[in-house]
Structure 1
Amino acid sequence: MSVTVGVHALVRRAHEERVLAILREHGTLSRAQIAARSGLSRTTLSEITGDLLSRGAIVKVTTDAHQRAGSGRPAELLALDPRSGQFLGVDLGHTRVRAVVADAAHEIIASGVTPYPATTSLPARIRAGLALIDRLGRERGLGLSALQAVGVGVTGPYPADTARADVSAVFRERFGAPVLVDNNTRFAALAEAGTTAAHDVLY
């Protein structure tokens, strides 16, 4: 049963990502237009868009009434919510936590830093990170209920794998999204590598 539920969740997330990608590429669209581009059935698409609307990932912006020549009920037009955070990055560094929030177009819409002493424990660093994220959300009026993924960088060689699992569990429970935890230097190297076509990168 758990395997079936897990597969269903993965399929549903894939459908959500497809819908968001279509809106990111084409802008404002009706459900019928999204269905034509995604290949999803009307029933499935209705469920997906309904959930995305309730979570604030997308919004109803208008209808196609001005485009319609005949009679019939105008179709709602949907678009990405520019205030909805889709990706969250957190760097739990030695002396500060840094957080960034990106929208569905992969543009950074909020960022901030909170300093702390180098002797700060990992649980305290996590609390500082969550407090920073909450503050950014309030100040920028952002919604984080539709996050697609969370990346958390931690200092090395500590914490150990068990501690990283604890970090992952905290953020996964808080935001209900997939969480990737890794060494923050590794993340920084990957970010640098992503800006070049080189096969070998030294960071």
Structure 2
Amino acid sequence: MKTKKRILSVILAAMMMLALTACGGMTTDDAKTYVQSVLDASYKADFSEYTEQTDSTEEEAQQLFDENLDNIMSMGGFTDAGLSEELSASYRQLFQDMLAQAKYEVGSATEGEDDGFVVEVSAEPFTAFDGLQDEVMSAVEAEMANITDISQLPSQDEINEMVFQKMYDILVQRVAEPTYGEAQTVEVHVELSDNMYSINEDDLTELDLILFPADNL
């Protein structure tokens, strides 16, 4: 089930991060608002504050969000998995719903080095992937066990579709009834370069790995 681990590793790979022009400098409150706007836009598809912060349009923000979903589908292996159009579309919507379940809280901001800022973000791990591999395999094995006539054995493509369908069915239920692990704190650095503020990409990756852990697949 390596595909699912690739999915999780790219959830945030193309996160929208339009730089914020350093017009007249930034305050700690500005830094906190900026981080909140980027996270809300990237996970919740809430672009209201993000467009204000980055001087972009909602259409531009929506395009970036849609491209993020496209990248998740492609880099996660779904585009080339040979899935039916219906199941592929269902997965794309599922990932959008899953991103919306990201549970984080932007906390205090302090001044950092080189006119930058450090913003604390509390993140609760989404546990939808815990034990997923075993549950999917058990569901597939149970369905295969019901086939007694060798002439009715599914083709490899049909088995592939079955595996992804079972995984989808399980994830839909888990997204509908989300559970979370213990909150962890990440320090997100807002950095100034060439009179533009942006968020440190490594910090965003660390945050994403906490929000959507794959260790317990």
Higher relative contact order (CA 8 A, sep 6+): 2
TM-score for both structures, normalised by structure 1 = 0.24
Bigger strand share: 1
Bigger helix share: 2
TM-score for both structures, normalised by structure 2 = 0.23
